[in-house]
């Protein structure tokens, strides 16, 4: 079967090397009602919840089985769920995939002051305790924010 050139002007071919940007393009095309997959484009954040649960369970199973090859595949399936959920959230005007990346990167920096600032801890237990204290403070601050 001859590969099709999609709206990006590119041809997408299995086994070519793909990066995150191209993966996001592929998901965007799949979710496009005009040129994508009818099943993917008909999905919603709600309808995909069982897929996210299933893929997460399959990651855990691969870890439990020490199955590295399957773990790689299943992590890809979880990544698909994150990207496709973000695609739908962007469609609804809620947030973008870049917002998801920004939020988690900021969180990792904020919750690791022993790595990204001069703050020092004497033990792993102290690091863990600080992590939970920061997380608790975030939750309290979130409660105070107007909705």
Q: Which token pair is 73?
A: 């595949």
Residue 89: pLDDT band (50, 70, 90) is very high
The position carrying tokens 């990204």 is: 116
Task: Give the start-to-end residue ranges of the domains of the chain.
Answer: 111-147
The residue ranking higher by pLDDT, 70 or 6, is 70
pTM: 0.85
What residues are paired with 11 via a beta bridge? 5
* Residue 122 DSSP symbol: S
Residues 6+ apart with CB under 8 A from 62: 68, 70, 71, 73, 74
Is residue 52 within 8 A of residue 85, CB to CB? The reply is: yes
pLDDT of 60 over the 90 cut = yes
């Amino acid at each position: 079967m001859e590969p099709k050139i999609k709206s990006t002007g590119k041809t997408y071919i299995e086994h070519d090397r793909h990066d995150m940007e191209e993966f996001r393009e592929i998901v965007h095309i799949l979710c496009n009602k005009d040129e994508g997959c009818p099943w993917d484009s008909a999905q919603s954040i709600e309808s995909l919840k069982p897929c996210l649960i299933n893929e997460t369970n399959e990651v855990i199973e691969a870890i439990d089985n020490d199955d590295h090859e399957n773990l790689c595949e299943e992590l890809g399936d979880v990544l698909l769920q994150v990207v496709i959920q973000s695609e739908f959230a962007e469609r609804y005007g809620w947030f973008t995939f870049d917002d998801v990346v920004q939020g988690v990167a900021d969180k990792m920096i904020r919750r690791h002051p022993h790595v990204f600032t001069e703050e020092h801890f004497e033990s792993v237990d102290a690091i863990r305790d600080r992590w939970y204290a920061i997380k608790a403070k975030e939750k309290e601050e979130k409660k105070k924010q107007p909705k």
